[in-house]
A and B are shown apart, each in its own frame.
Chain A
Amino acid sequence: MNKIEAIDVNFYYGDFHALKGISMEIPQNKVVAFIGPSGCGKSTFLRLFNRMNDLIPGSRLQGRILIDGQDIYAPGGMEVDELRKNVGMVFQRPNPFPKSIFDNVAYGLRVNGIKDKEFIRQRVEESLRGAALWDEVKDKLNSSAYALSGGQQQRLCIARAMAISPSVLLMDEPASALDPISTAKVEELICELRNQVTIVIVTHNMQQASRVSDKTAFFYMGEMIEYDDTKVIFTNPHKEATQNYITGRFG
């Protein structure tokens, strides 16, 4: 069953044609990795799934993107904040709010109008446990999130995104600013979360893509060159460009 479906997507930043006729299907509760050289449009494509590009003036989308069979850009359809409650996002650089650890995780619940203190407390604990952060921060929930290390901050951001129980999680190079140990922890987390959510992850790290993902898409110059099972992409790609990229011959 397909969680996300992109149908002939073209995207423009003003006159710049950033995405060229991309169609793809992302199955439910699978991890899909986007790889490709810098500037090929991975982030742009990813950010279409939670309408983050709406904020960019002069940008334009053609084509349709369906999540659970519903066109998320249809006028008069779903509200954009409703969509984003269902489609969480983790960014390249950890971006906790200048608030306490607790308030960071509780933020999504609170902006969704949840007032029940006990429920919020429970959900915060669950999310922090889910992000393998609970043991490290349980004694300092009220201290600033900025006091955490970069890796801890990134896991906090994952906990924050997961607190509102989204069914899709978008991750844009979530480990690129982290040390190897933190990276391993984040990867572990992705493997644990795969049963609950559909994950789309952008990465420059081939090993990471092959370790965590079920399917992989290779992008080049705004086009999706190849999309297949991760095993196939990394062992037996059909396109030469893909072969060249994963063997490091260009990019």
Chain B
Amino acid sequence: MRRIFEKAVKWLLTASGFVTSIVILLIIGFLFTEGAGLFKEKVIEEGYVLALNRENNVKELTAAQIKAIFDEDVTNWKEFGGPDMRIEPFRLEDADKLFTEEELGGQYENAGSLIASLIEAHPGMVAFVPESMIPKGANLNFIEDRSISPKEVFAGSEWFPTATPAPLFGMWPLLAGTLWVSLFAILFALPFGISIAVYMSEVASERVRGFLKPVIELLNGIPSVVYGFFGLIVIVPLLQQVFGLPVGESGLAGSIVLAIMALPTIVTVAEDAMRSCPRSLREASLALGATQWQTVYRVVIPSSMSGIASGVVLGIGRAVGETMAVLMVTGNAAAVPSSILEPLRTIPATIAAELGEAPAGGAHYQSLFLLGVILFFITFFINLCVEYISSRNKAKNS
């Protein structure tokens, strides 16, 4: 009977282990396939074309160039190696202004030929219209459409996933935003975290420590929305006043909130590491006439360095992946930040904010998954660092 029971438990544990691993692998696989789908998408929105006059010999445009044309930032074809002509962007909506309803027909059935002749009449015109509308055999040029290239995505510095006719998926601003916020968060959290850890492990009496430790661990359990809310009503206005900013929502506000959130991890892990520094080493140092502080920074901190380092890396891990609080206080401007006082946007915040409005299966949707893949690699790398540090620690202690 006992035998059977033990067998069953063993079987159950194995099964649950397998199921968990498979689920995790499935999630990763899903993330990757969805993310990679972005590179199969076309630059120009699906089902649409950019039609040009016959005289216009421009063949290719990047997504950024298309956006510049329709935003009327660039006004001459010369810029793109075409003839010296003014650019006249045309969207389907413009048809309503140029033609009467009768001319277009109730079902827009005449719109195609009207637009085609319009383009033929205007040499500088570029029209963004559904492919199906263009009448067969129309005497027009078309911009060649290509797939979205990885270079545009990873090195592109503009993130406009909802721009028409060509959305921009430059992820660099988001990556930069994530790195900036995390970097500054660690810069703030590190000195405080280490000092609190030193205080708790070396200075505080047992009673103070017995009070502080649970309080700090409690900080870990506070939902991040609450931190975000705190940041929004306390830190953001404060920064706005202190630095005289037009808006207080900024990378700095994000880093401060993240620093507060990363603090408990850093403190707990670093403090544990310092307390596990053997008593015999402290005694050896004190017996040589070292003061308590000399002992702390010459023996305790160096010998618990790897523990402190894993605390810090774990803290960074939390900062990099944190979504809600950052979303609330960073201002969410998807531009490469030139200073930490500017609004910026991180990868997790972008995913959370945009996934709801991105049509499933579209390029925007897939680009968000690709962001997820990037985030996965960052945190994966960080975990590798923790593994490496703690394995080195083990090797050193044995």
Give me the interface of A with B, judged by CB distance under 8 Å: 50, 52, 55, 57, 81-82, 84-85, 88-89, 91, 93, 95-99, 107-108, 110-112, 146, 157, 160-161, 164
Give complex CA distance A84, B290 in Å: 8
Are B288 and A98 in contact, CB atoms less than 8 angstroms apart? no
Interface residues of B in 193-210 (CB under 8 A from A): 206
Are B281 and A84 in contact, CB atoms less than 8 angstroms apart? no
Q: What's the minimum C-beta distance from A74 to chain B, rounded to whole angstroms? A: 18
Partner of B287, one of A88, A96, A97, A146: A88
Given the interface pairs A98-B302, A107-B298, the reply to whether A160 lies near B281 with Cβ below 8 Å is no
User: How many chain B residues touch A (Cβ–Cβ < 8 Å)?
Assistant: 19
- Which residues on the B side are within 8 Å of A81 (C-beta)? 286, 289-291
- Which residues on the A side are within 8 Å of B289 (C-beta)? 81-82, 84-85, 108, 111-112, 164
Give me the interface of B with A, judged by CB distance under 8 Å: 206, 278, 280-281, 283-291, 294, 298-299, 302-303, 396
- Which residues on the A side are within 8 Å of B298 (C-beta)? 107, 110-111
Are B288 and A52 in contact, CB atoms less than 8 angstroms apart? no
Which chain A residue lies CB-closest to B277?
A98
Are A97 and B285 in contact, CB atoms less than 8 angstroms apart? yes
Are A97 and B291 in contact, CB atoms less than 8 angstroms apart? no
Are A52 and B396 in contact, CB atoms less than 8 angstroms apart? no
- Which residues on the B side are within 8 Å of A50 (C-beta)? 287
Give complex CA distance A81, B303 in Å: 22
- Which residues on the A side are within 8 Å of B285 (C-beta)? 97, 107, 111
Which chain A residue lies CB-closest to B298?
A111
Are B290 and A89 in contact, CB atoms less than 8 angstroms apart? no
Which chain B residue lies CB-closest to A103?
B298
Are A111 and B290 in contact, CB atoms less than 8 angstroms apart? yes
Given the interface pairs A88-B288, A164-B288, the reply to whether A97 lies near B299 with Cβ below 8 Å is yes
Q: What's the minimum C-beta distance from A236 to chain B, rounded to whole angstroms? A: 36
Give complex CA distance A85, B290 in Å: 8
Given the interface pairs A84-B289, A85-B289, A164-B289, the reply to whether A97 lies near B294 with Cβ below 8 Å is no
Give complex CA distance A173, B278 in Å: 19
Are A161 and B291 in contact, CB atoms less than 8 angstroms apart? no
Are A95 and B286 in contact, CB atoms less than 8 angstroms apart? no
Are B280 and A108 in contact, CB atoms less than 8 angstroms apart? no
Give complex CA distance A82, B285 in Å: 13
Residue of B278, B283, B287 with most chain A CB atoms under a 10 A cut-off: B287
